[in-house]
Structure 1
Amino acid sequence: MDRITQLKAFLQASPGDNFLRHALALEYIKLGDDNTARSIFEEILTQSPAYIGSYYHLAKLLERTGDTPAAIAWYEKGMEAAKQAGDKHAFGELRSAYEELTF
């Protein structure tokens, strides 16, 4: 059983599991299916804005596909979420990627 099939099976049992959904999005990136990955990341962050790990990966995907304005917006949202959560490490990673893109 491939990883996507396996993750989808786990998600049937736990459809709201953000860790599993995030992992599924990463698998789609590996396959080059950025549109599906983007949809999954956006769904996670719309439903669970405190799931900080997905901000970086979504913004990097957008950056890689040339949607710089959207990448900047997601980095900014991620920095705000990380700040609110007190996650200095995530905030630093997001800020570093944001600054590299904007300066």
Structure 2
Amino acid sequence: MERNSTRLDQLFEFYREDPNDAFTLYAIATEYLKIDPSKAMEYYQKLLQDHENYTGTYYHAGKLHESFGEKEKAEQIYKKGMLISQREGNRHAYSELQQAFNRLMDLDYEEDE
């Protein structure tokens, strides 16, 4: 826990310097994911709201909603993430989101691209 809190302290210092940096918010959410998932969700929500084109958020936010038993919210996040990833030309993020969505929806086929 000490290591996480030291890392969080450093990340919050970066956040104070630039509160609009999506990567810093993402890193804070990721650190909280290990120690306080509810707090992580707060930061993922902020990213989804303020930095909708930051495609890395969608997979982790969707998975976190799944872990909370919120299937419908996870589904919405995966779908929106796929649309944005496609729009941004981020094939890797799109593929990850599509796989997560397929697992969530119990679709066990592989889609050809």
Identify the TM-score tier after normalising by the shorter chain.
Answer: over 0.9
**Which of the numbers 96, 103, 107 marks the counterpart of 1:100?**
103
Question: Which residue pairs with 2:53 in the alignment?
Answer: 50
Q: Give the secondary-structure state (helix, strand or coil) at the position aligned to 2:19.
A: coil
Question: Which residue pairs with 1:74 in the alignment?
Answer: 77
Write the letter of the residue equivalent to 2:25.
Answer: R
1:8 and 2:12 correspond:
yes
Alignment root-mean-square deviation, CA: 1.0
Structure 2, unmatched stretches of 5+, are 107-113
How do 1:14-93 and structure 2 match up within 5 A?
14-31=18-35, 33-93=36-96
Output the CA distance in 2 between the equivalents of 1:61 and 1:52: 15
Output the CA distance in 2 between the equivalents of 1:62 and 1:101: 11
**Aligned-pair distance for 1:36?**
1.2
Write the letter of the residue equivalent to 1:38.
Answer: M
**Aligned-pair distance for 1:81?**
0.5
Identity across matched positions, percent: 35
Output the CA distance in 2 between the equivalents of 1:68 and 1:5: 33
TM-score (ref. length: structure 2)? 0.87
Question: Which residue pairs with 2:110 in the alignment?
Answer: none
**Aligned-pair distance for 1:18?**
0.6
Output the CA distance in 1 between the equivalents of 2:18 and 2:49: 18
TM-score (ref. length: structure 1)? 0.95
Output the CA distance in 1 between the equivalents of 2:68 and 2:48: 19
Write out the 4+ residue segments of structure 1 that deviate beyond 2 Å after TM superposition. none
Greater Rg over alpha carbons, structure? 2
Q: Give the secondary-structure state (helix, strand or coil) at the position aligned to 1:2.
A: helix
